[in-house]
Amino acid sequence: MAFPWRAGFVRGPVAFGVTGLLVLLVASPGGLGTGPLVDPLSLVGLVVYNAHNVPAATGLVPGAVTPVAEAVVGVPVVVLVAAGWEFAVTHWDEAATDSPVGVTRFGLALAVGYVAAMLLGTVLVTVQMASPLQSGTLFTVPPDRYLTAVFGFVYPAVLGSVGAGIVYVQLAGTSTADSEDATEQEPDA
């Protein structure tokens, strides 16, 4: 049987979208804040990337934008573990995974789609920011694309594999119990 790579590629952008939506829901009750950002929703986008350890690349003023929302740091972790778990549960029989090393394929497939969505998102989240040094001057603030490529692949690869690993452990325990029951039910010759 062939591994369902395409199913993982599709789950990556969906997981990234769910992460963004959850960050918006968690961040918006306190307000989107004020500051030098022209578009307040862009702050939420930068917070999504910051939750993945990807800072804004301001270029002119390093560290001018560092949106840290501690409440959302765990959102990508929970979403990616859940996405890896769901992917493994729905495609376990197709994947024919019989070793812990094979479980990593679930995380890798998820990572390919996730990093593609994150890289596309760097274009959409790129914002104009008012310069704190010169009034009336705007400069571009995108998420750091190099770190987006690194963490956008590493986070889902590792955390998606953890979610799939949970399924592997659950099914290994189930198959061990089933084989013990089958052994007990066989009559002795």
For the stretch 22-62, pLDDT in tens is 988 876 655 555 554 446 677 778 888 888 888 777 654 44
- Round to whole Å and give the CA distance between 46 and 56: 7
Which pLDDT value is given to residue 60?
Answer: 45
Which pLDDT value is given to residue 95?
Answer: 78
pLDDT band at residue 126, thresholds of 50, 70 and 90?
confident
pLDDT band at residue 65, thresholds of 50, 70 and 90?
very low
Which pLDDT value is given to residue 61?
Answer: 43
Contact yes or no for 58/6 (Cβ under 8 A):
no
Could you give the percent of the chain with pLDDT greater than 90?
37
Is the pLDDT higher at 136 or at 89?
A: 89
Around Cβ 10, how many Cβ atoms within 10 Å?
15
- Note the pTM of the prediction, 2 decimals: 0.79
Buried b / exposed e across 165-174, counting CB within 10 Å, b at 16+?
Answer: bbbbeeeeee
Which pLDDT value is given to residue 157?
Answer: 96
Residue 114 in this model has a pLDDT that exceeds 50: yes
Is the pLDDT higher at 78 or at 142?
A: 78
pLDDT band at residue 14, thresholds of 50, 70 and 90?
very high
Residue 131 in this model has a pLDDT that exceeds 70: no
Is the pLDDT higher at 109 or at 70?
A: 109
In the predicted model, what is the mean pLDDT of the chain? 79
Contact yes or no for 55/144 (Cβ under 8 A):
yes
- Round to whole Å and give the CA distance between 71 and 94: 37
The DSSP code sequence of the chain is ----HHHHHHHHHHHHHHHHHHHHHHHGGG----SSBS-HHHHHHHHHHHTTT--B--SSSTTS-----GGGTTHHHHHHHHHHHHHHHHHHHHHT--SHHHHHHHHHHHHHHHHHHHHHHHHHH-EEEE-SSSTT-EEEEPBPHHHHHHHHHHHHHHHHHHHHHHHHHHHHHHHHHHHHHHHHHSPP-
Q: Residue 128 corresponds to which tokens in the numbers above?
A: 């104009």
The closest of 123, 120, 131 to 35, measured between CA atoms, is 131
Contact yes or no for 47/72 (Cβ under 8 A):
yes
Residue 103 in this model has a pLDDT that exceeds 60: yes
